[in-house]
Amino acid sequence: MNVPLAVEAIALERTYASGHTTVAALAGVTVAIRRGEFVAVMGPSGSGKSTLLNVVAGLERPTGGTVRVDGEDLAKLDEEALARHRSKRVGMVFQSFNLLPRLKVVDNVALPLAFSRVPQAERLRRARAMLERLGMTARAEHRSNELSGGELQRAAVARALIGDPAILLADEPTGNLDSANGAALIALFEELHRQGQTVLLVTHDAQIAAHAERTIRMRDGRVVDA
């Protein structure tokens, strides 16, 4: 029991002011994700699943409740510490890949390490090793605008994993992929999970969610079925 949970959210709230009304994207979410788990968060758009992911990623601060990632209470972190949280504790994969088009794939993958002050040679060595692990060695020296969607997302996963994060976060990672590439990506997640990686995946697709060990269903900012 001494091992901290990968993610522990207690009564998490996130409200947005929208004109004169406030919208609650998270209205008291309590979830726990153990280390090594592969969890899917499912729900229709507007259910708050992406907000939950962003809060865990440290991209957004909750307006209420507590969230701990790998034992660290994110509310206690200032902006600089939150940046370190993003570079070391979590790895994020987006629907729209979000690679820098002017950089080579290997430099994109190595980028997070630059912000954690890893020397350049070491960064490139680790990025190449990661690309090899994901079967992307052939594309390492290409620019990201020369890659297919499937390759882009694989590169994005490599970038998310480069800092050896406690948890891999993915927000609709198959949303911009065709079904074959989507299936291959999910297979990659399953493989990473088998290797012990904690994965938190947000999707609205029940077929994708079915690959996870456990599915958290959300609606209107609440967990309806954990």
Partner 1 sequence: MRPGDLLRMSLGNYGRARLRSALTTAGVAIGTALVVLLIALATGAEDNVRRSIFSIGDLRLVTVQPFQPGANGLSAVPRTITDDTVAKLKGVAHVDGVYRQFDAPLGMVVEGGDDATIRPQGIEPGAPIDRGDLLAGRHIETGDRAVAVIPGNIARLVAPNVGAAVGRTVTMRVGGAVKLGSTRIGGSGTPRDYAVKIVGVFDEQSSQTSFRIPLDDALLAGAENRGLTPDAMRTTTGYSGLAVEADDSTNVADIVKAVQELGFSSFSLKQVVEQIDQGFGVFKGILAGIGGVALLVAAIGIANTMVMSVLERTREIGIMKAVGASPRDIRALFLVEAAYVGVFGGILGLALGLAGGQLIDRIIRQLNPQTNPAAIFVVGPDLALGALALALGVALLAGFLPARRAMRMSALSALRYE
- Interface residues with partner 1 (CB under 8 A) are 54, 57, 59-60, 79-80, 83-84, 86-88, 92, 94, 98-100, 102, 111-112, 114-117, 119-120, 159, 163
Closer Cβ to partner 1, 156 or 186, answer by number? 156
Query: Nearest approach, Cβ of 14 to partner 1 (angstroms)?
Result: 11
C-beta pairs of 128-133 under 8 Å, 24+ apart in sequence: 130/158, 130/161, 130/162, 131/105, 131/106, 131/155, 131/158, 133/158
Query: Nearest approach, Cβ of 114 to partner 1 (angstroms)?
Result: 5
* Burial call 164-191: b when 16+ CB within 10 Å, e when fewer: ebbbbbbbbbbbbbeeebbbbbbebbee
The residue type of 103 is: L
Query: Nearest approach, Cβ of 152 to partner 1 (angstroms)?
Result: 13
Query: Nearest approach, Cβ of 213 to partner 1 (angstroms)?
Result: 26
Q: Are 215 and 226 in contact (CB under 8 A)?
A: no
Q: What is the C-alpha radius of gyration for the chain, rounded to an integer number of angstroms?
A: 17
Cα(8)–Cα(72) distance, rounded to whole angstroms? 10
Closer Cβ to partner 1, 7 or 209, answer by number? 7
Cα(25)–Cα(52) distance, rounded to whole angstroms? 9
Closer Cβ to partner 1, 57 or 136, answer by number? 57
- β-strand pairing of 64-69 with 38-42: unpaired
Structure tokens at 218: 């959300």
Query: Nearest approach, Cβ of 226 to partner 1 (angstroms)?
Result: 25
Closer Cβ to partner 1, 2 or 18, answer by number? 18
Closer Cβ to partner 1, 85 or 128, answer by number? 85
93 closest CA partner among 159, 140, 179: 159
Query: Nearest approach, Cβ of 183 to partner 1 (angstroms)?
Result: 26
Q: Which residues contact 177 (CB under 8 A, 6 or more apart)?
A: 149, 150, 153, 185
Closer Cβ to partner 1, 79 or 196, answer by number? 79
